[in-house]
Amino acid sequence: MNKIENTIDTFYKAFAKRDFATMNKFYHKNAQFTDPVFQYLEGREIQAMWHMLCEAGKDLQISHSPIGVYDNSARVTWKAVYTFGKTGRIVHNEIQAEFFIKDNLIINHFDSFNLYRWAQMALGATGLLLGWTSYVQNRIKSDAKNQLKKFIKSHPQYR
């Protein structure tokens, strides 16, 4: 296993243990992250997001597939199974992740998944009927952003 592969593998193994401190050690200080919900996070915001998700995910189960490594980048498919707190519904999300590495640390991290599919699982009938609309998707993003801001406010190490 090369350095990049080991970094990504260790990152997801730490996530499976909800060990956000180890996960956060792999990010460059100038790192950027985006996914369909948490868009355009930088530096400490990324670390706060993982901390928040690990704390909230009491029944969180994480698995990942073999890692594809390409020069200074890597791709992996990972899966998250958890109870969505607002509705109590079980979510089985499959995510495609792409990482770019600088100085042996993650500088860019892009996760992609089908937000409409996620909304169907997390929100039930509302997600099925309206999860494809920009209104519902923007509400999901806004709620997540507000939740992260509140988390950062209560955790000064991320300010």
Is the pLDDT at 1 greater than 80, yes or no?
no
pLDDT tens for 131-157 read 999 999 999 999 999 999 999 999 999
pLDDT tens for 60-104 read 999 999 999 999 999 999 999 999 989 999 999 999 999 999 998
**H or E stretch at 56:** helix 44-56
Residue 16 maps to which CATH number? 3.10.450.50
Q: What domain range is 87 assigned to?
A: 3-158
Residue 50's SS3 state is helix
Domains identified in the chain, total number: 1
Which residues contact residue 74 at a Cβ distance below 8 angstroms, ignoring those fewer than 6 apart?
Answer: 4, 5, 7, 8, 67, 68, 98, 99, 101
Beta strands in the chain (DSSP E): 27-34, 41-42, 61-64, 68-70, 73-84, 89-102, 105-112
Give pTM, 2 decimals. 0.93
